[in-house]
């Protein structure tokens, strides 16, 4: 959803194309997710390749996401949209043709095929609450004519809400349920999702994507549609898919995230805000029960992230790629901690909040070349990419053996499959021994080294027969071990 119209350690180092892990990619097979469940199987981490074009997504699935263990790729809205250079034009549909500045229908089909071939499922960011926010008639990216309440072949005036409030039909009072779900979000033409005709058109768009092999949807602006309307649209889908719903939380608002859990996962916006605040200003020791005890949704129905395309433009305590080592540490915690389904953000640099992705003069999105041309590719940072394998290795295990020093040094295990310690202090923690449930052996520290073909490019840590190991942890750094990166 859009809100506008128109360190000094190795953690801060972005590593180019780390050596690919020697894991065999699992087939898609019978583990396809359902509309009412979190992603299934051992590979649940989602990479959000925000505003990447289709050729680049296909290449990234083959060359990095699949080999490194990402389970899903989330792609930006693929439908025809209004013209413009800003990022948010992709969230203003004018038709349901699969033709956008990111590529053609044929190129999008190639994305699905390539990602499936690499063992990566595809989630589409689906804009179904509204159409465009343009007051004047125009022509969309692929040549479709439209006006604010007229989209030939799709919708006319009667297919939209006209709430008759605030002089311009815009939402003003978020404590008023009717207004939030029947007025316009920053002038965007609000579809009447209670209409059977509209529901049929929206399901038709989603089913078209399903016919191309798509595996799930992120439903944009879900707060602005009654949960029952979303359920009615889901009921028209041709097959079960993974659903996650964008539902920004604000205390005291009329509409709350728990209303939507019956439709699928709900994105837990509180998670990233709180995690950023703790890493910036508070004690990491506070994270010993992070998740549902903080008032969040149950873990099985929550989608979590350090930042996304909205929150990284919203300021406050949210961590972004600009925070370098701290950002990497926060992602390491997210990928190591047993709560929710994590999404890793992959950004491009921007100097103003409206700025679109690197593009040519016509607005067509450039190919994504990681770590150059403005593409930040956080999903490839060594710490983050290696912690995806950690997440896969510890799937289904509980948090055990929590330790903290009462301040900014924490450590915990994940059953007998993994162990993570994070030192947020301004000084090194040297000579300390850690108790884990890990089997005895030699382990690659995946924070500082890549594990490939049974060997490690970084430090190797020995765990003794009692589960103990000793390691020095530098200031604002971490160490992570897991059974999938056992040396020799």
Residue 481, beta-bridge partner list: 419
Identify the active-site residue in 125, 169, 246, 445.
Answer: 246
395 catalytic residue (yes or no): no
Three-class DSSP labels, the chain: CCCCCCCCCHHHCCCCCCCCCCCCCCCCHHHCCCCCCCCCCCCCCEEEECCCCHHHHHHHHHHHHCCCCCCEEEECCCCCECCCCCHHHHHCECCCCCCECCECHHHHHHHHHHHHHCCCEEEEEECCCECCCCCCCEECCCCCEEECCEECCCECHHHECCCCCCCCCECCCCCCHHHHHHCECCCCCEECCCCHHHHHHHHHHHHHHHHCCCCEEEECCHHHCCHHHHHHHHCCCCCCCEEEECCCCCCCCCCCHHHHHHHCEEECHHHHHHHHHHHHHCCHHHHHHCCHHHCCCCHHHEEEECCCCCHHHCCCCCCCHHHHHHHHHHHHHHHHCCCCEEEEEECECCCCCCCCCCECCCCCECCCCCCCCCECCHHHCHHHHHHHHHHHHHCCCCEEEEEECCCCEEEEEECCCEEEEEECCCCCEEEEEEECCCCCEEEECCCCCCEECCEECCCEEEECCCCEEEEEECCCEEEEEEHHHECC
- Indicate the burial class of 194 (C-beta count within 10 angstroms; 0-12, 13-18, 19 or more): middle
179 catalytic residue (yes or no): no
Identify the active-site residue in 220, 234, 307, 378.
Answer: 220
CB within 8 Å of 322: residues ≥ 6 apart: none
How far from each other are the two terminal CA atoms of the chain, in whole angstroms? 47
Active site (catalytic) residues: 220, 246
């Amino acid at each position: 959803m859009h809100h506008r119209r128109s360190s000094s350690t190795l953690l801060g180092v972005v590593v180019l194309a780390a050596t690919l892990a020697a894991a065999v990619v699992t087939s898609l097979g019978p583990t396809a997710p359902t509309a009412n469940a979190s992603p299934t199987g051992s590979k649940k981490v989602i990479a959000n390749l925000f505003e990447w074009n289709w050729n680049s997504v296909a290449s990234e699935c083959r060359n990095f996401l699949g080999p490194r263990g990402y389970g899903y790729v989330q792609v930006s809205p693929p439908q025809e949209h209004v013209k413009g250079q800003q990022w948010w034009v992709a969230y203003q549909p004018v038709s349901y043709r699969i033709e956008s500045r990111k590529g053609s229908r044929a190129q999008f089909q190639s994305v699905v095929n390539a990602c499936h071939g690499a063992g990566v499922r595809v989630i589409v960011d689906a804009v179904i609450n509204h159409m465009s926010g343009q007051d004047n008639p125009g022509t969309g990216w692929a040549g479709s004519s439209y006006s604010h309440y007229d989209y030939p072949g799709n919708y006319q005036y009667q297919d939209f809400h006209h709430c008759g409030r605030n002089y311009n039909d815009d939402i003003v009072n978020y404590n008023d349920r009717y207004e939030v779900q029947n007025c316009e979000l920053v002038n965007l033409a609000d579809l009447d999702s209670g209409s059977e005709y509209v529901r049929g058109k929206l399901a038709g768009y989603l089913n078209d994507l399903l016919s191309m092999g798509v595996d799930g949807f992120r439903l944009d602006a879900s707060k602005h549609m009654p949960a029952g309307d979303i359920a009615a649209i889901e009921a028209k889908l041709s097959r079960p898919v993974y659903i996650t719903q964008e539902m920004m939380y604000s205390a005291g608002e009329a509409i709350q995230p728990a209303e939507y859990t019956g439709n699928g996962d709900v994105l837990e916006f509180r998670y990233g805000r709180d995690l950023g605040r703790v890493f910036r200003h508070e004690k990491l020791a506070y994270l010993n029960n992070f998740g549902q005890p903080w008032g969040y949704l149950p873990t099985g129905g929550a989608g979590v992230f350090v930042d996304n395309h909205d929150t990284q433009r919203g300021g406050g305590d949210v961590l972004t790629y600009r925070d370098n080592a701290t950002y990497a540490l926060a992602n390491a915690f997210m990928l190591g901690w047993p709560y929710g389904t994590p999404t890793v953000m992959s950004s491009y640099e921007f100097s103003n909040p409206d700025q679109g992705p690197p593009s040519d003069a016509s607005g067509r999105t450039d190919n994504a070349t990681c770590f150059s041309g403005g593409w930040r590719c956080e999903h490839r940072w060594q710490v983050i990419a290696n912690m995806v394998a950690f997440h896969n290795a510890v799937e289904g295990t509980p948090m055990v053996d929590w330790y903290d020093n009462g301040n900014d040094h924490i450590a915990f295990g994940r059953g007998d499959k993994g162990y993570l310690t994070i030192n947020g202090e301004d000084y090194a923690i040297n000579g300390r021994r850690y108790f884990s449930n890990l089997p005895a052996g030699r382990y690659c520290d995946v924070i500082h080294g890549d594990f490939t073909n049974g060997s490690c490019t970084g430090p190797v840590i020995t765990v003794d027969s009692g589960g103990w190991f000793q390691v020095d942890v530098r200031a604002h750094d971490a160490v992570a071990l897991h059974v999938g990166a056992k040396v020799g």
